């Protein structure tokens, strides 16, 4: 994606698979995080992932549902509106390949004087270890679960939430350990069809509490 004149001001937390170099506090204040301007609809852009390993066209819908999840759980305080081009988007989601060395990442940026974010998501589940990759290949809903929850996690960083130590949170970091297969399977167990993903945000009550504290 061409970033133009956007200047990165803070590198966001790495994804659910990235190990942390230091333990994060359980509590934080509004002043310690970058939050988006929620006084008006927040423009976002999802880049076409054609040619990216593991990407399928339906992944765009998963990303849209991830934005919808944060809006819904914020009780409407966050309103996202999709853009056809990245030029005016405050949040830009880009699909990345394994060779770029990212499973997912969020970078906080300044966009025309407003807080924004670049979100990177890798749709190639082959990179997640043999057990999870094998299950995902045999179960399309698990594969979609992984991509969807990664989008939700990274958009969570975009709206200002940090990693947590609570395994039940969408913002949990595997830098603290934990069973990655179980993490994704517990969400997968809720699904009977792909459309069910639209019903279950993946956020925990703790995630929602932090979100509503940030956007009152």
- Residue 117 is part of a domain; what is its CATH number? 3.40.390
117-166 tens-digit pLDDT:
999 999 999 988 899 999 999 999 999 999 999 999 999 999 999 999 99
26-50 tens-digit pLDDT:
323 333 457 999 999 999 999 999 9
How many separate domains does the chain show? 1
Q: Would you say residue 28 lies in a domain?
A: no
Q: Would you say residue 185 lies in a domain?
A: yes
Q: Tell me which DSSP letter residue 99 carries.
A: G
Q: Would you say residue 77 lies in a domain?
A: yes
Across 72-76, 77-81, 126-130, 186-190, least confident range: 126-130
| Domain housing 77 | 7-15+33-206
SS3 202: coil
Look-up: residue for tokens 């809720």?
190
Instruction: Report which of 119, 113, 29, 36 is spatially closest to residue 77, judged by C-alpha positions.
Output: 36
């Amino acid at each position: 994606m061409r970033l133009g004149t956007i200047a990165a001001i803070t590198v966001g937390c790495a994804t659910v698979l990235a190990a942390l170099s230091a333990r994060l506090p359980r509590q934080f204040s509004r002043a310690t995080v970058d939050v988006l301007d929620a006084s008006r609809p927040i423009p976002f852009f999802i880049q076409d992932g054609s040619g990216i390993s593991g990407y399928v066209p339906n992944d765009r819908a998963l990303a849209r549902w991830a934005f919808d999840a944060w809006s819904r759980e914020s009780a409407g305080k966050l309103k996202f509106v999709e853009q056809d081009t990245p030029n005016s988007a405050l949040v830009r989601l880009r699909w990345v390949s394994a060779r770029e060395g990212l499973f997912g990442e969020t970078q906080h940026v300044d966009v025309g004087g407003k807080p924004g974010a670049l979100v990177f998501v890798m749709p190639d589940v082959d990179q997640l270890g043999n057990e999870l990759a094998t299950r995902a290949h045999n179960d399309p809903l698990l594969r979609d679960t992984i991509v969807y929850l990664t989008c939700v996690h990274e958009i969570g960083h975009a709206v200002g939430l940090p990693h947590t130590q609570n395994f039940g949170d969408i913002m949990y970091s595997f830098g603290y350990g934990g069973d990655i297969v179980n993490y994704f399977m517990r969400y997968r167990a809720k699904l009977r069809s792909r459309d069910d993903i639209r019903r279950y945000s993946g956020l925990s009550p703790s995630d929602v509490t932090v979100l509503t504290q940030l956007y009152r």
